[in-house]
Structure 1
Amino acid sequence: MTIVMLQRLIDPNTMHVLVATPGTDQGGIDRVMASLRSQLTLDADERLHVRFAATRGPGHIATSPFYLGAFIARMTALKAAGRLDVVHINLASVGSTYRKLVIAACCRALGIPYVIHLHGADYREFWQGASAGLSRRIRAMFAGAARIIVLGRVWAEFVAGQAPEAADRIVVLPNASARPALPHRGGGDKVHILFLGRIGERKGVPQLGEALKRMEHLPGWRATIAGDGEVEAARAKVAEYGLSDRVDLPGWVGPEGVAELIATADILVLPSFAENLPVSVIEGMAAGLAVVATPVGAVEDIVTDGETGLLVPPGDVDALTDALTRTVTDAALRHRLGEAARRFHRQRLDLEPYAKAMQDVWVGATR
């Protein structure tokens, strides 16, 4: 009797899923997976047993082989016990890909269906710039997947072009977020501009700083630039601009801190040069913030310029300054954009339908 047949005899109505997460507790992938885990707990479906395990882990990258080894050992043991139907692989570029190539190869060797969930903002450049050998291995990983989740249309087209044999298994499923944990109260007498993300060039923080400098003459606003990365360099630039009394850089903040920042914000700004589908924009939309972002990655799938937010070209400081100035000075515009964003979130980006759609993907992967 095969292991799969034995599993069905032991537990015929339950699907067992093992989800590979980075486990750093700082990136967007971990935030999405933590929200998914919470929603699945609320749903309490006895027919579904989902386990989450780190493959990179917190702390120094040198410890990641231990987390990867532990994940593979757990996966193997669950398979042997007849308690594993599908593996869910969250995928980004560079180190994440090298680790997930190993996991996908083990899945194929053990006969476990796996789902690839592509999150990496710069995955196009990474894959297209890879050596011939690495590119073949990545293509084989995608070709062997039972389902491939991408976050928007642009990513579906990219993956289909790189691995055409997998095109019929691609599912577009945007990231989602829970509704705000705290009631929204805004910035009060000063319009609060909020940036959430890794501080550095890719996220457009230098351009944001320059735009805020150009708005120095404008009264009635303050800003928070929260996240890890090049924090000290950004603080020095803010001091150089003479904006230290108006722009706060607290560094990385945890979930409770993020919830408080969103509750007290009026505008969510993310002037990135590259994204997949940023979680901070979705969280801002959930709270009814006016979004100012760039049309990169799958952002245009959720932000329509002038309707659910304002879109500016990457690197265009003039356009960014204008959009922020408009949203600071025009309360009616802020309200209109924020309410439209909130409605869009409830219709398309809420956590409950996201969890149900994810379960459909897992079920489809086993057929």
Structure 2
Amino acid sequence: MKILLVTYWGLTNMGGIWTYMKQLADKLGEQGYSVTLMGSHVENNTLYLLNRTESFDKKSFYSLLLPQLDKVRFPSLHLEHGIFSFELGRYVFEGGAAVLGLEDYDVIHAQDPIASYALRRIMRTPVPLVSSVHGALTRETFYEYKGLEPGLTREEYEQRPIWRYFRRIETLGARSADQILVSSEWIGQLTRSLGVRPDRIHTLPYGLDLKHYAARAAEPAPLQFAEGIPVIMYAGRLEYIKGVHVLIEALGILNERTQKWICALAGIGSLQEELMERTRQLGIQQQVYFTGKLDNIPAALRAADIYVQPSLQDTQPFSVTEAQLAGIAPVVAGTSGMPEMVRQGETGWIVPPGDAVQLARQLEELLGNKELRERTGFQARQWAQRNRSLDVMAAGTLNIYHRAIILQKSRPGIPDFVRFGEGPGDSRLPAAFHPADVLNGSDPGTPLAEHMRTRLPQNYSIPDARTALGPGK
């Protein structure tokens, strides 16, 4: 079986998604399957196949499309800058994926709704398509905007065109797939709310390669602190959605009750300077260490006594499982899929999301009770070893691949639920164009124009009518 794993985003810098793709590819490769990974190279601005020579110059194609998508002819693209940016980026991704080729694979596994919809849109002949829903795009973008506009409410955000746009992309992405994998019941419920039939959604929690984890954990520890002082740790991006600002506030409260602790924040992100300044304001800058990005979290966790995942939204972060395998019962925010990862007081603790006071109280209790930490940590490790095996995840994923292939063989063409039905949203926008026509007009005879003509569907057009928003749509 030839398998293609695809993400719209940067391939090797996507945190949990990269961990998922890399682990799955390695495991399936060990079992004799041919697995190729496709994604963006952020530094080179290319779409590429990992460990292969083929790549597509995104910047060049972007420059050709940009002047064609003006506000006069296509006002729906310019309702918000975010809409224009994402749509243009998707068209570039679609052209690149078509040039790199989709026809030689037995099954394609998309890792985000943008890739899922884009790949289905450019298929000349149907290929079984499985999609993993790793998060809730519409909700995640709310937290990104809220990080820039602290007073923004969800109700206000949902009145903006950008919310309607991402909601539509999520819906189209989910409906594009033959089978859908979700890691938690929470994300499964959200996917069903997009109008997806329950029989197409399969819950399969993330797994880790336990032998690889143990080997990594045995390597030299990248963090070392003074003996006898408990260490609190967080590993992940320093972004608003991850709730690290809530942890900082909780540490400020904790410091008023006890100063016998250290906190290590392992990661990088746009909020780093702001978070560092806040630790200075709270007078805890000597106790909070910004370690930067660490390449070996399993070994780093050997220095930790408490692990905190304070995310405002997170499906099932690998870092929580890594903490459990390290024998640390994590403290997680009670939102999204994280409560499904722990049993309260047995394999971890759940605190209200965004509540620094409750988080500080939980940390104070754990700091003062080493026996509790050790007992629950032992239980957390036992649970993770039983329930978070990569072997189980890989076997379940293969089963879904076979389902998608069998379904494809049993029907001609693309099924109705993937065709999105018939209606105005499926028609071609006035003045929409095929990219091959634009390429021929700007550079007659260019090989890229021929690639676009032969590898994209004949009725493919830019802009996409299905994502065009009108007033109130």
Q: Is the TM-score greater than 0.5?
A: yes
Give how far 1:330 is off: 0.8
Residue of structure 1 in register with 2:106 after alignment: 85
Aligned: 1:151 with 2:183: yes
The whole-number CA distance in structure 1 between the counterparts of 2:363 and 2:279 is: 17
Aligned: 1:182 with 2:217: yes
Residue 303 (structure 2) aligned to one of 264, 267, 284: 264
Residue 163 (structure 1) aligned to one of 195, 198, 221: 195
- Letter of the aligned partner of 1:236 in structure 2? E
Residue 273 (structure 2) aligned to one of 232, 236, 242: 232
Residue of structure 2 in register with 1:351 after alignment: 390
Judged with a 3 Å threshold, the aligned counterparts in structure 2 of structure 1 residues 340 and 122 are, in CA distance, closer, same or farther, namely farther
Give how far 1:59 is off: 3.3
Aligned: 1:117 with 2:132: yes
Judged with a 3 Å threshold, the aligned counterparts in structure 2 of structure 1 residues 334 and 363 are, in CA distance, closer, same or farther, namely same
Match of 1:59, SS state, is: coil
Give how far 1:290 is off: 2.2
Give how far 1:99 is off: 4.4
- Letter of the aligned partner of 1:289 in structure 2? I
Give how far 1:228 is off: 2.0
The whole-number CA distance in structure 2 between the counterparts of 1:213 and 1:264 is: 22
Judged with a 3 Å threshold, the aligned counterparts in structure 2 of structure 1 residues 353 and 288 are, in CA distance, closer, same or farther, namely same
- Letter of the aligned partner of 1:45 in structure 2? Q
Match of 2:111, SS state, is: strand
Residue of structure 2 in register with 1:192 after alignment: 231
- Letter of the aligned partner of 2:110 in structure 1? I
Does the aligned pair in 1 maintain the 2:116–2:131 contact within 8 Å? no
Does the aligned pair in 2 maintain the 1:18–1:86 contact within 8 Å? yes
Cα displacement string for residues 127-163 of structure 1 (whole angstroms, at most 9, x for unaligned residues): 9956767755643442331110111112212211212
Judged with a 3 Å threshold, the aligned counterparts in structure 2 of structure 1 residues 144 and 299 are, in CA distance, closer, same or farther, namely same
Judged with a 3 Å threshold, the aligned counterparts in structure 2 of structure 1 residues 333 and 183 are, in CA distance, closer, same or farther, namely farther
Match of 1:162, SS state, is: coil
Cα displacement string for residues 216-272 of structure 1 (whole angstroms, at most 9, x for unaligned residues): 25243211112222111111111222222211012333x33x233222212110112
Higher mean alpha-carbon deviation, 329-338 vs 184-193, is at 184-193
Does the aligned pair in 2 maintain the 1:231–1:251 contact within 8 Å? no
Judged with a 3 Å threshold, the aligned counterparts in structure 2 of structure 1 residues 291 and 136 are, in CA distance, closer, same or farther, namely closer
Does the aligned pair in 1 maintain the 2:140–2:313 contact within 8 Å? no
Cα displacement string for residues 293-318 of structure 1 (whole angstroms, at most 9, x for unaligned residues): 11211112221211110100012112
Residue of structure 1 in register with 2:314 after alignment: 275
- Letter of the aligned partner of 1:241 in structure 2? L
Q: Residues 23-102 of structure 1 correspond to what in structure 2 (within 5 A)?
A: 23-41=11-29, 44-46=30-32, 48-54=33-39, 56-59=40-43, 69-76=95-102, 79=103, 83-91=104-112, 97-102=113-118
Give how far 1:356 is off: 1.5
Does the aligned pair in 2 maintain the 1:122–1:275 contact within 8 Å? no
Cα displacement string for residues 3-56 of structure 1 (whole angstroms, at most 9, x for unaligned residues): xxxxxxxxxxxx111000330424211122222233334xx222x2111111x3
Judged with a 3 Å threshold, the aligned counterparts in structure 2 of structure 1 residues 69 and 311 are, in CA distance, closer, same or farther, namely same
Q: Residues 290-329 of structure 1 correspond to what in structure 2 (within 5 A)?
A: 290-329=329-368
Give how far 1:122 is off: 4.5
Residue of structure 1 in register with 2:150 after alignment: none
Aligned: 1:18 with 2:11: no
Residue of structure 2 in register with 1:12 after alignment: none
Give how far 1:176 is off: 2.1
Judged with a 3 Å threshold, the aligned counterparts in structure 2 of structure 1 residues 72 and 265 are, in CA distance, closer, same or farther, namely farther
Gaps of 5+ in 2: 46-57, 60-88, 143-156, 407-473
- Letter of the aligned partner of 2:284 in structure 1? L
Does the aligned pair in 1 maintain the 2:117–2:172 contact within 8 Å? no
Residue of structure 2 in register with 1:221 after alignment: 261
Give how far 1:193 is off: 0.8
Give how far 1:113 is off: 1.0
Number of residues of Structure 1 aligned to a counterpart in Structure 2: 335
Higher mean alpha-carbon deviation, 346-355 vs 62-71, is at 62-71
The whole-number CA distance in structure 2 between the counterparts of 1:328 and 1:210 is: 17
Residue of structure 1 in register with 2:64 after alignment: none
Larger radius of gyration: 2
Q: CA RMSD in A?
A: 2.7
The whole-number CA distance in structure 1 between the counterparts of 2:379 and 2:368 is: 19
Cα displacement string for residues 84-113 of structure 1 (whole angstroms, at most 9, x for unaligned residues): 11100001xxxxx44442212124x32101
The whole-number CA distance in structure 2 between the counterparts of 1:366 and 1:34 is: 22
The whole-number CA distance in structure 1 between the counterparts of 2:289 and 2:218 is: 22
- Letter of the aligned partner of 1:110 in structure 2? T
Judged with a 3 Å threshold, the aligned counterparts in structure 2 of structure 1 residues 126 and 161 are, in CA distance, closer, same or farther, namely farther
Residue of structure 2 in register with 1:252 after alignment: 293
Judged with a 3 Å threshold, the aligned counterparts in structure 2 of structure 1 residues 139 and 233 are, in CA distance, closer, same or farther, namely closer
Higher mean alpha-carbon deviation, 288-297 vs 212-221, is at 212-221
Match of 1:290, SS state, is: coil
Does the aligned pair in 1 maintain the 2:136–2:187 contact within 8 Å? no
The whole-number CA distance in structure 2 between the counterparts of 1:124 and 1:312 is: 20
TM-score (norm 1): 0.82
- Letter of the aligned partner of 1:101 in structure 2? Y
Q: What percent identity do the matched residue pairs reach?
A: 25
